[in-house]
Amino acid sequence: MKISGASTPSIGIAPQSGSAAVADVAAASAPVAAAGAAVLESAVLQPAQKALRSMPDFDAAKVAELRDALAKGELPFDAGRLAGLIQKFHGAGKA
């Protein structure tokens, strides 16, 4: 799985009606909030994003190895158990 793109959250402050000063403060603080989020993303997320970009989407050799093992019967597979786990994961039977 490849994750691309980055979203930069911003914090908006809605002014109260009839208050021009509140609107001025909100307008002035928006760039500061965006800059703070960019610094946080830069410091924290960029190393993780770089590591993810350097990884392959999936390990093709491992997939081929597992596919061969399944075909040869070397890897046990219980279709009923898999179906039950899928139903459990997706909440089948919940009221």
List the domain boundaries for the chain: 1-57, 58-95
Which position has the higher pLDDT, 13 or 53?
Answer: 53
> Which residues have CB under 8 Å from 66's CB, separation 6+?
75
pLDDT given for residue 29 in this prediction: 54
**How confident is the model at residue 14, as a pLDDT?**
52
- For residue range 40-87, what is the model confidence (pLDDT) as tens digits? 677 778 888 888 889 888 899 999 999 999 999 999 889 999 999 999
